[in-house]
Amino acid sequence: MDYDVLVLGAGIIGCAAAYELSKYNLNIAVIEQDYDIADDVALINCAIVYDGCECEDSLISRLEVMGNSIIEKVADKFNVNYKKCGHLIIAEDEKSKEKLENMYNISMSRGIKGIHLLDRDEVYKVEPNLNINVKKALYSENTGIICPYDLAIAYGEIAFDNGVNFKLQEKVLDIQKMSKGFRVITNKNKFTCNTVLNTTPGENYSIDSFNKVNKSISNLRYFLLEKEFSGNFQNIISTLNESEDKMYAIPSIEGVSIIAMKTNENITCEESIKKIGNFIGNIDEECINTVYESSFYNDSLMIDDSLIDNGYIKITGKNYNQVTTTPAIGKIVCDSIVSNLNCVLKKDFVDKRREFYRFRSLSNDERNKIIKLNPKYGKIICNCQKISEGEIIDSIRRPLGARTIEGIKRRTGVAFGSCMGSQCLSKISSILARETDKKITDIVQDSKNSKIMLSRIKEFDDI
């Protein structure tokens, strides 16, 4: 067999599973169609680490509780941006008040810790800037916010450093059962393996003949507000009302606020801003840095291990809480695979991410020490976010380093500021071209068809 385990898809679940499996004496490869790992993890993600109290499904709630407690530990260990902050779920009318009380009782019966029911006055004490009609609120102490693609990249980097083979830009075309093991056919290769963990959404492989997931999708519109926005909240706030619409205000780790609006209606941006005004008070349009639209998924998550005896597990269904449940899912599928393959822990597993600097969060003394060792850290490339050339070079030279502009953005935070990269994009492209020994016209944003520069102007070729 070419591999003991093939993980298909290097999203956050594929990377977390690869990390867990890399603790064992196994020959593992991850196959990903994109240029980078974690490329499908939404760039502007709500980034909420849930605590299990909002889930209707008890099993998913348990996965959230388990994931929540693992995330707190791994974020610290892997140097991933994570902040614990409370979540206020606000009932705006009598009917939602009942729903909220029901949610509280279910949370108690599930044994979820740190949940409180607050009256109107108590809510305004916690968040004085709130502008909505509060009947009652449920306050969760144990929720948090995390940088989801940083968590996924951390899992991937450690798996890579512990011997997992990442095959990027390779698309899985089919998975076939053989008399012993599987054959995975890609656009470049045919691999044999004992076990397949399939995290890709493909449903038409030869092996897949089981139930399809129930899909549930609504529209989600995000408004990324500038730091100067006056109504900043300390906690995550969300609403519960008679309509299916839901508003979220999320204090991001970077200090800006994200306002998200989930709706099934087809409304304009101006109408959304008006609705948001009823939630957090009027927002000056000058404060809106970015508007981003996405889908809100509430599919039924399916971990199908019915064929585990034969060596096949498939994870399907996109869900709004998948970042939270990922660490738990990674551990559970790893346990199933390991007990099926009867393998042992590696003696030389290194549970550590290679160090890197987040320059802008260091003191001047710390910065000066690093600049003395490497002057590239003294050259700021992204003025809005204060990101240095040293950080960009490190993001390219790291294990599983960035090979696209998007990859550099996700690893360093470059071009996320108010100029959105208009002042630094060409500098970043030049650094990437130099570091990877490519022509600048070969540099891509994030995939094959996303070149940053199409061609050189002929007259300049001789310069």
Footprint of ligand FAD (CB under 6 A): 8-14, 31-34, 39-42, 45-48, 148, 171-172, 199-202, 220, 294, 318-324
CA distances 249 to 120, 258, 406, Å, are: 18, 6, 26
380 CB neighbour count, 10 Å cutoff: 16
Whichever of 147 and 392 has its CB closer to ligand FAD, that residue is 147
Find the angle CA(102)-CA(232)-CA(79) to the nearest 5 degrees.
85
- How many residues are recorded in the chain? 463
Whichever of 39 and 161 has its CB closer to ligand FAD, that residue is 39
Kindly state the smallest distance separating residue 167's Cβ from ligand FAD, in Å: 9
CA distances 68 to 113, 161, 235, 241, Å, are: 12, 25, 17, 26
3-state secondary structure 251-279: ECCCCCEEEEEEECCCCCHHHHHHHHHHH
Q: Helices in 313-454 by DSSP H: which ranges?
A: 322-341, 364-373, 389-397, 405-412, 425-436
Kindly state the smallest distance separating residue 441's Cβ from ligand FAD, in Å: 25
What gap in Å lies between CA 426 and CA 421, rounded to an integer? Answer: 9
Given its phi and psi angles, is residue 51 left (phi above 0), alpha (psi -120 to 50 degrees) or beta?
alpha
Kindly state the smallest distance separating residue 376's Cβ from ligand FAD, in Å: 31
Which residue is at the shortest CB distance from ligand FAD?
11
Kindly state the smallest distance separating residue 144's Cβ from ligand FAD, in Å: 10
Whichever of 219 and 374 has its CB closer to ligand FAD, that residue is 219
β-strands 190-198, 312-316 pairing: parallel
Whichever of 333 and 393 has its CB closer to ligand FAD, that residue is 333
Kindly state the smallest distance separating residue 137's Cβ from ligand FAD, in Å: 19
Whichever of 198 and 395 has its CB closer to ligand FAD, that residue is 198
The residues, ordered by sequence, that sit 6+ positions from 365 with a Cβ below 8 Å of its Cβ are none
Q: Of the candidates 294, 340, 292, which has an alpha carbon nearest to the alpha carbon of residue 313?
A: 340
Whichever of 3 and 320 has its CB closer to ligand FAD, that residue is 320
Kindly state the smallest distance separating residue 443's Cβ from ligand FAD, in Å: 20
Q: Of the candidates 410, 409, 448, 449, which has an alpha carbon nearest to the alpha carbon of residue 428?
A: 409
Kindly state the smallest distance separating residue 445's Cβ from ligand FAD, in Å: 15
Kindly state the smallest distance separating residue 253's Cβ from ligand FAD, in Å: 13
What gap in Å lies between CA 103 and CA 32, rounded to an integer? Answer: 39
Whichever of 10 and 91 has its CB closer to ligand FAD, that residue is 10
Whichever of 33 and 162 has its CB closer to ligand FAD, that residue is 33
Q: Judge whether 408 and 402 are in contact, CB under 8 Å.
A: yes
The sheet with strand 48-49 has its strands ordered as: 48-49, 144-146, 82-84
Enter the tokens of residue 380: 């700021």
Whichever of 136 and 318 has its CB closer to ligand FAD, that residue is 318
Kindly state the smallest distance separating residue 98's Cβ from ligand FAD, in Å: 26
Separation of CA 402 from chain center: 16
